[in-house]
Amino acid sequence: MNQFLAREKMSKREKRALDANKRTIWDGINPITRKTENKKAYSRKKSPRWYKDDSTGIFVCITAS
């Protein structure tokens, strides 16, 4: 039968084992807090539309022989 033992009275090894056991409880869930970006705010990180456009459609030249 396991008796309750206060954390202050545990040995350093037992505390480490207890902490390691508590850390594995997340089971695939990342505990980092995240927030969604504001869709209305301007973002410098987004590339502008003209940067993605290669503009080849404008300079199409058809030659007739």
Whole-structure pTM over 0.85, yes or no?
Answer: no
pLDDT at residue 56, rounded to an integer? 60
* Residue 38 clears pLDDT 60, i.e. is over it: yes
* Residue 27 clears pLDDT 80, i.e. is over it: no
HEC readout, the chain:
CCCCCCHHHCCHHHHHHHHHHHHHHHCCCCCCCCCCCCCCCCCCCCCCHHHHCCCCCCCCCCCCC
